């Protein structure tokens, strides 16, 4: 499935050093996986993680799950070796950490010519440069790094994510303006289902394609929150039927559930149905 039609409701981080987790993910209901070499791997484990992950990606079958490798930064002691190991890996995208400007994307693009690139958006400069970063011709996706962003801002974590709103909004605008996939940051309290559900719903309401996750127990909640609901599908079908009927009568507006339906709402309705179909096709594969 091409990236444009691929669902990204759930995007699970797996530390590249954890053999059991790498194995387990092959059977988990996750739309995408971020194989992490950066913050989930301690300095002592970096070399082991790199070789374990390279070997795993070369031999293991992850089905239709979208495979993303997060490298260490080029300014770190491990970045150059990561690039050498994964420039031609069996991956669907390479994720660059702590991107702050288009030049950070270009530095990796020059060394990895053939794989799509994604950017971690997690520094104050990245928020301010989001439009220019999103415009880089090699970039196809963005991931919010809300832990690093909170650290850089000196912000407190709140259920409403007040401190994150400006950055989340700027990155969403930039991603949508340039046709990129964009997924929300992680929810650290991986045993708190209620809090995760609220944060997923907030991300979905804002327009994110899905959420990054740190534990398999979070998958079901994210998959549900970012799938069109039964009532959304039913509304989309009724809007399309009502609008087609209105058009037959020479009208440009229909009314469904007391609300107007115009051409632009039909675009959204068709997108809802297309997303539901893509999810069904992915789940059956």
Least distance between ligand LIB3CWND and beta carbon 78 (Å)? 15
Which of 35-43, 157-165, 255-263, 270-278 is the region at the interface with ligand LIB3CWND (rule: CB under 6 A)?
35-43
| Residue 160 annotated as binding site | no
> Beta strands 254-256 and 259-261: pairing type?
antiparallel
Which residues in 129-168 contact ligand LIB3CWND (CB under 6 A)? 145-148
Q: Return the residue of 5, 19, 24, 262 that touches ligand LIB3CWND, per CB under 6 A.
A: 24
Q: Is 145 in the site for Mg ion (CB under 5 A)?
A: yes
DSSP secondary structure string for all residues of 60-109: ---TTPEEEEEPPPTTSTTHHHHHHHHTT-S-SEEEETT--SHHHHHHHH
If one asks whether residue 31 binds ligand LIB3CWND (CB under 6 A), the answer comes out as no
- Distance CA(100)–CA(119), nearest Å, equals 9
- 26 known member of a binding site: no
Question: Is residue 14 a contact point for ligand LIB3CWND (CB under 6 A)?
Answer: yes
17-25 long-range contacts (CB < 8 A, ≥24 apart) are 17/41, 17/42, 17/45, 17/48, 17/49, 17/52, 19/52, 22/52, 22/53, 22/56, 22/60, 23/60, 24/216, 25/62, 25/65
Is 70 known to sit in a ligand binding site? yes
**Nearest distance from C-beta of residue 97 to ligand LIB3CWND, angstroms:** 7
CB 17 within 8 A of CB 48: yes
Q: CB 95 → ligand LIB3CWND: shortest distance, Å?
A: 9
Q: Should residue 148 be labelled a site residue for Mg ion when binding is judged by CB under 5 A?
A: yes
* C-beta of 157 vs 190, nearer to ligand LIB3CWND: 190
92 touches 138 (CB < 8 A): no
Output the known binding site for Mg(2+): 122, 148
Interface residues with Mg ion (CB under 5 A)?
A: 122, 145, 148
């Amino acid at each position: 499935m091409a990236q444009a039609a691929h669902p990204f409701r759930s995007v699970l981080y797996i530390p590249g050093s954890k053999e059991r987790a790498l194995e387990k993910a092959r059977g988990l209901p996750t739309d995408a996986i971020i194989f992490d070499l950066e913050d989930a791997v301690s300095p002592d484990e970096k070399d082991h993680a790199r070789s374990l992950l390279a070997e795993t990606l070369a031999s293991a079958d992850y089905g239709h799950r979208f495979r993303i490798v997060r490298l260490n930064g080029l300014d770190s002691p491990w970045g150059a070796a990561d690039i050498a190991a994964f420039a031609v890996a069996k991956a669907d995208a390479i994720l660059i950490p702590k991107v702050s400007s288009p030049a950070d994307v270009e530095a990796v693009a020059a060394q990895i010519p053939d794989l799509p690139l994604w950017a971690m958006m997690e520094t104050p400069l990245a928020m301010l440069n989001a439009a220019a970063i999103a415009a880089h011709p090699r970039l196809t996706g963005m991931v919010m790094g809300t832990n690093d962003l909170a650290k850089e801002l000196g912000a407190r974590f709140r259920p409403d994510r007040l401190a994150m709103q400006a950055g989340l909004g700027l990155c969403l605008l930039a991603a949508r303006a340039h046709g990129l996939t964009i997924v929300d940051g992680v929810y650290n309290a991986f045993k708190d289902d209620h809090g995760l559900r609220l944060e997923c719903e907030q991300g979905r309401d804002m327009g994110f394609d899905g959420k990054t996750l740190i534990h398999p127990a979070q998958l079901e909640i994210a998959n549900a929150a970012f799938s069109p609901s039964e009532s959304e599908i039913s509304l989309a079908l009724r809007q399309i039927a009502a609008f087609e009927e209105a058009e037959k009568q020479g009208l440009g507006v229909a009314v469904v559930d007391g609300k107007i339906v115009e051409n632009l709402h039909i675009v959204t309705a068709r997108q809802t149905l297309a997303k539901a179909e893509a999810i069904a096709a992915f789940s059956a594969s």
